[in-house]
């Protein structure tokens, strides 16, 4: 389908260009023109479905670089608890009872929430199963995503089968919407030998299914909590001296296709190595605060010139998939804790949630900004709202005042997936009913100890 | 009008009672019955307008205990700047050009945003003018509020006139919706003698216009930044030893009708004195972070048993009037900075935004919880949303996942002020047009230096 978006204010996130009274022409999946309304209206008349963006702001779709999409099924199941009790007595025990169908339903719910809040790409790490999975949920809803399978030392055999199956069936599939990743859970749950082996598996899978333009990436938790070095020492009898990232580098696994989630407890040496190896960070402020993990040195990473993107983390530790909330939290938090109100300004935060997110997923050749030749992944935000009034500065409003519910229309891969707040690919009522039913059934299996 | 709300889940905020399949009967301004659906449906049949709260949660309206409502006219005008530059070069210069009409329009905009996000009471501090003012805006929209006039040493005469006029014309007016307060700006902008004099004025006004049940309260900024002691020293040549609250106590102005906004840089002695004098705190996490003021010792105040309520502060330093955002920020922030995920749990935060807010404004005899005999100030939240699915715990969802846009219906003083997200007392389009026009005119006066 060809689309002409007209009369809008376009925040391109490319060379800081903002086009007022702007228009965007889309053919099939791609942005073919971006410019002034008057010019594009002349060029693209018949054969283009028109979207009127008057009083609206058109921005690149938001990119959520750290999620566990399936876990929205556990949203609000346990909060406000000590970390070990939360994980050990609540989350891990119930997760054991989650079926492939639960994973699919949770991901469907997250996909729904993501699209409805202007997020067009989600990087998710969970257990892959062939029967039903997150990739299927994303492909059905038309959400772009990187789908990972999370690996642990205890189940190398199942992991290897899952990784191969995931790559074969899903990498660069669904019209290019879905890519896959290799996801070692963390440096304290994946032993050094297995970490190196996973790197080899990643290379093999890339040779078979990936390409320079469509790489299979590496998605992992790094330095989420301050005791991570201690956890590694306990698990593998390895005493670290210079930080967790430095340790990972010693295993030879760091490169430009690595995205490290959290990056809370980094040493100076860790940050230097990230710069050298071009490792990307996913900052998850809401989850880090809720779980009391600590506060990531984001301003320091940014000063160093690292790619720092934004993620919500799972709906168990957030409890939403709302990137507008994460943008505002990011803009606020680093000012407050560093006692400097000039840090993480709105324009930088908006970049973190869009073009930097694309870079973090090695996908910036196709997404993250509104440019000719890129895929049409867009969010159209209705600015005719009391809380977005009056208007001095669109970017300030997007970061500090706009809400996910202001997102009016969303386009992914050239397809309208939400129009006037109505998803076109999803039956919301049905997804909610599926989730509620899956939750009840899960609680029953847990109570009766039936897997 | 008589109203029967039925089929809802009622979070009473009274004795931790949650009523599923619950109902609330309202006559005139008051809640006359709260209970199970089946009982109330029998008792209150004809003559009651029915509101169906199926799949919805009914909660006390949120209480925003620190605002400068007029300043929404400057939302997004200046952000991400060093504090002194922000205030000295941006906010204060443009404020000088604000007219009484601008104050009214800004307050109208804040009232609209507040009602639409489930806030039913706002405590606001700004410049009172007889012609047009915040009280008029609140009364017109049906928003409950405490309206203050902000006092500075430099303009004692105008202040005194304004305070008397405000109390006479507005205290306990508009069917009891509006109360007033005496608002010394801060300990560093109001000299000690004038502070004491304002206390006397407050007592006089209370004798004339107030009562034990409807007191004129004292609303002031205290210890917003860590350099406040130094500011006091510079301004008045007074060297403090034990903290700003301790200093205020030495002036004899602290009592149970004092609400202190921010309370960031408190000493241990300050907190002890707040407890002794029953001083109430308004915690403003978003503003404190955005302006890099510091982080209030909220868990410590709560442990001490103080009344800690929540405020958004002005839309210049937030940039919204959204108490859902402030609840989530509160729940997250103190866990993160204190490295303790059990602090400020959801139920405590919800209390801070409702019943504790009522106490902070000395208004808990009428608002803050859903109880027979209290005024009907309610927010009805639609839980049939993907991001509120599945449902394990309503209070977790209200604090961690719900958004202001989920508020479906709002009742203040027994009157429906929003139904199905449509305000009944406000023409939204008109308010937005007025605000945009006022902003343009303000910018023009600023550019041309016309007051």
C-alpha pair distances (Å), B5 with each of B49, B198, B355, B405, B414? 8, 44, 21, 20, 12
CB A390 within 8 A of CB B106: no
- B401: DSSP letter: I
Nearest CA in chain A to B325: A325
Q: Hey, what are A331's tokens?
A: 């803009």
Distance of alpha carbon B187 from alpha carbon A263, whole angstroms: 41
Specify the pLDDT at position A6.
97
In chain A, residues with a C-beta closer than 8 Å to the C-beta of B80 are: 331, 341-342, 345-346
Rg of chain B on CA atoms, in Å: 21
Radius of gyration of chain A (CA): 21
Residue from the list B73, B112, B289 with its beta carbon closest to the beta carbon of A336: B289
For A164, residues 6+ apart whose C-beta sits below 8 A from its C-beta are A205
Residues of A in contact with B118 (CB under 8 A): none
Nearest CA in chain A to B399: A319
pLDDT in tens, A268-324: 999 999 999 999 999 999 999 999 999 999 999 999 999 999 999 999 999 999 999
According to DSSP, the residues that pair with B199 across neighbouring strands are none
* Cβ(B134)–Cβ(B107) below 8 Å: yes
* pLDDT band at residue A237 under the 50/70/90 scheme: very high
Q: What is the DSSP string of B329-350?
A: HHHHHHHHHHT-TTSS-HHHHH
How does pLDDT run across A89-136, given as a tens digit for each residue? 999 999 999 999 999 999 999 999 999 999 999 999 999 999 999 999
Query: Tokens 């604090």 belong to which residue?
Result: B399
**From B331, which residue of chain A is nearest by alpha-carbon distance?**
A290
**Confidence class of residue B14 from pLDDT cuts 50, 70 and 90?**
very high
Which among A322, A370, A355 has a CA at the least distance from the CA of A53?
A370
| Per-residue pLDDT reduced to its tens digit, B87-145 | 899 999 999 999 999 999 999 999 999 999 999 999 999 999 999 999 999 999 999 99
The model's pLDDT over B383-424, given as tens digits with 9 standing for 90+, comes to 999 999 999 999 999 999 999 999 999 999 999 999 999 999
CB of A435 within 8 A of CB of A109?
yes
Question: What pLDDT, on the 0 to 100 scale, is given for residue B83?
Answer: 83
Taking CA A321 as the corner, what is the angle to CA B327 and CA A76, rounded to the nearest 5 degrees?
60
**Do the Cβ atoms of B222 and B186 come closer than 8 Å?**
yes
Q: Does B318 touch chain A (CB under 8 A)?
A: yes
Q: Give B369: exposed, middle or buried? Use CB within 10 Å, 0-12, 13-18, 19+.
A: buried
Give one DSSP letter per residue of B375-391, joined into a string. B--EEEEE--SGGG-S-
- Round to whole Å and give the CA distance between A298 and A344: 8
Q: How far apart are CA A209 and CA A204, in angstroms?
A: 9
Residues B390, A439: C-beta atoms closer than 8 Å: yes
Distance between CA atoms of residues B257 and B280, nearest Å: 8
Task: Using a pLDDT cut of 90, give the percent of chain B over it.
Answer: 98
Q: Using a CB-CB distance cutoff of 8 angstroms, which residues of chain A are in contact with residue B86?
A: 341
Query: DSSP string covering B134-175, please?
Result: HHHHHHHHT-EEEEEEEE-GGGHHHHHHHHHHHHHHHTTBTT
Å from B103 to nearest chain A CA? Answer: 14
Q: Kindly state whether B389 is in contact with chain A, defined as any CB-CB distance less than 8 angstroms.
A: yes
Average pLDDT over residues B428-442: 98
Tens of pLDDT, residue by residue over B311-341, are: 999 999 999 999 999 999 999 999 999 999 9
pLDDT of residue B1: 78
Interface A:B, Cβ pairs < 8 A? 198
For residue B392, list chain A residues with Cβ-Cβ distance below 8 A: 75-77, 439
Is ipTM beyond 0.85?
A: yes
Q: Does A321 touch chain B (CB under 8 A)?
A: yes
Instruction: Tell me the pLDDT tens digit for each residue of A352-379.
Output: 999 999 999 999 999 999 999 999 999 9
Instruction: Give all domains of chain A, ordered by start, each with its CATH number.
Output: 2-60+374-423 (2.30.40.10), 62-360 (3.20.20.140)
Residues 6+ apart with CB under 8 A from B176: B29, B214, B366, B375, B413
Under an 8 A CB cutoff, do A401 and B75 touch? yes
* Cβ contact A82–B342 (<8 Å): yes
State the smallest CA–CA distance between residue B96 and chain A in angstroms: 18
Q: What is the residue-averaged pLDDT of chain B?
A: 97
Could you tell me what percent of chain A has a pLDDT over 70?
A: 100
Residue B86 touches chain A, beta carbons under 8 Å? yes
Tokens 């190896």 correspond to: A277
How large is the average pLDDT for residues A74-96? 94
> Is 0.90 surpassed by the pTM of this model?
yes
Q: Using CA atoms, how far apart are residues A183 and A162, in angstroms rounded to an integer?
A: 11
Distance from CA of B68 to the nearest CA of A (A): 15
Residue B84 pLDDT grade (very low, low, confident, very high; cuts 50, 70, 90): confident
From B226's Cα to the closest Cα of chain A, the distance in A is 10
* Phi (first) and psi of residue B223, to 5 degrees: 55, 45
Q: Please check whether residue B372 touches A, CB under 8 A.
A: no
Pairwise CA distance, residues A138 & B409, whole Å:
34
Q: Where are the alpha helices (DSSP H) in B3-150?
A: 37-43, 83-85, 92-95, 100-116, 134-141
- Overall average pLDDT of the B343-351 stretch: 98
Q: What is the pLDDT of residues A396-445, one digit of tens each?
A: 999 999 999 999 999 999 999 999 999 999 999 999 999 999 999 999 99
**DSSP H or E run through B408:** strand B407-412
Rounded alpha-carbon distances, angstroms, from residue B100 to A152, B96, B149: 65, 11, 13
Residue that is written with structure tokens 């062939």 in the block: A130
By DSSP bridging, strand B280-283 and strand B49-52 are unpaired
SS (H, E, C) A314-377: CCCCCCCCCHHHHHHHHHHHHHHHHCCCCCCCHHHHHHHCCHHHHHHCCCCCCCCCCCCCCECC
Statement: residue A9 has pLDDT above 90: yes
DSSP secondary structure code for residue A173 in this structure: B
Q: Chain A 396-435, CB below 8 Å of chain B: which residues?
A: 396-397, 400-401, 403-405, 428, 431-432, 435
CA distance A263 to A283: 7
pLDDT for res A1: 78
Alpha-carbon torsion B353, B354, B359, B362, what sign?
positive
A197-229 b/e with 16+ CB inside 10 Å = b? bbbebbeebbeebbeeebbbbbbbbbbbbeebb
- Yes or no, beta carbons of B336 and A295 under 8 Å apart: yes
Contact between residue A361 and residue A63 where contact means Cβ atoms under 8 Å apart: yes
pLDDT of B127 reads 97
Q: Is the dihedral of CA A85, A86, A87, A89 positive or negative?
A: positive
Compute the distance between CA of residue B317 and CA of residue A339 in angstroms, rounded to an integer: 15
Cis peptide before B440 (omega within 30 of 0): no
Q: Which residues of A touch B77 (CB under 8 A)?
A: 392-393
Taking alpha carbons only, the member of A216, A219, A247 closest to residue A231 is A247
Q: Which of A103, A115, A36 is nearest to A73 (CA)?
A: A103
pLDDT range class, residue A159, cuts 50, 70, 90: very high
Q: Residue B386: which of A81, A112, A396 has the nearest Cβ?
A: A112
Check if the beta carbon of residue A285 is closer than 8 Å to that of residue A244.
Answer: no
Query: Does the pLDDT value for residue A45 go beyond 90?
Result: no
Question: From the candidates A98, A262, A339, A390, which should be mutated to test the interface with B, based on the most B CB atoms within 10 A?
Answer: A390
Contacts 24+ apart (CB under 8 A), B16-24: B16/B347, B18/B394, B22/B58, B24/B58, B24/B370, B24/B376, B24/B378
Quick count: other Cβ atoms within 10 Å of Cβ B419?
A: 14
Give SS3 for B196: helix
- Show the tokens assigned to B32: 């006359």
A341 touches chain B (CB under 8 A): yes
Answer whether B235 touches A (CB < 8 Å).
Answer: no
């Amino acid at each position: 389908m060809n689309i002409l978006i007209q009369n809008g204010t376009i925040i391109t996130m490319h060379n800081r260009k903002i086009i007022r009274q702007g228009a965007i022409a889309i053919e099939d999946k791609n942005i073919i023109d971006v410019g002034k309304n008057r010019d594009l209206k002349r060029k693209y008349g018949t054969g283009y479905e028109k979207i009127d963006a008057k009083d609206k702001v058109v921005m690149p779709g938001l990119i959520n670089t750290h999620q566990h999409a399936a876990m929205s099924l556990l949203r609000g199941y346990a909060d406000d608890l000590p970390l070990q009790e939360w994980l050990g007595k609540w989350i891990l025990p119930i997760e054991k009872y989650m079926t492939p169908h639960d994973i699919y339903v949770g991901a469907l719910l997250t996909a729904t929430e993501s699209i409805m809040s202007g997020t067009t790409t989600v990087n998710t790490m969970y257990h892959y199963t062939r029967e039903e999975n997150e990739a299927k949920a994303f492909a059905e809803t038309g959400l772009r995503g990187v789908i990972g399978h999370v690996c642990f030392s205890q189940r190398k055999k199942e992991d290897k089968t899952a990784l191969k199956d995931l790559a074969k069936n899903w990498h660069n599939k669904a019209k290019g919407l879905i890519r896959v990743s290799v996801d070692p859970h963390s440096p304290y749950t994946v032993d050094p030998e297995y970490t190196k082996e996973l790197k080899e598996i990643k290379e093999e899978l890339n040779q078979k299914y990936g390409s320079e333009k469509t790489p299979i990436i590496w998605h992992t938790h790094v330095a989420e909590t301050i005791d991570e070095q201690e956890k590694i020492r306990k698990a593998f009898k390895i005493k670290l001296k210079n930080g967790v990232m430095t340790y990972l580098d010693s295993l030879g696994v760091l490169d430009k296709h690595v995205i490290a989630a959290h990056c809370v407890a980094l040493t100076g040496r860790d940050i230097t190595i990230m710069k050298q190896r071009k490792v990307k960070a996913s900052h998850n402020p809401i989850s880090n605060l809720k779980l009391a993990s600590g506060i990531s040195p984001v301003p320091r990473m940014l000063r160093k010139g690292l790619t720092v993107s934004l993620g919500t983390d799972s709906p168990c530790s957030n409890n939403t998939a709302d990137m507008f909330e994460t943008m505002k939290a990011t803009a606020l938090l680093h000012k407050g804790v560093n006692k400097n109100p000039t840090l993480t300004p709105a324009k930088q935060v908006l970049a973190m949630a869009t073009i930097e997110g694309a870079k973090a997923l090695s996908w910036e050749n196709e997404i993250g900004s509104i440019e000719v030749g890129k895929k049409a992944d867009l969010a159209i935000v209705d600015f005719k709202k009391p809380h977005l009034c009056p208007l001095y500065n669109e970017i300030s409003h997007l970061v500090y005042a706009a809400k996910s519910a202001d997102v009016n229309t969303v386009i992914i891969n050239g397809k309208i997936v939400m129009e006037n707040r109505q998803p076109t690919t999803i039956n919301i009522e049905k997804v909610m009913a599926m989730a509620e039913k899956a939750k009840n059934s899960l609680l029953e299996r847990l109570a009766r100890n039936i897997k």
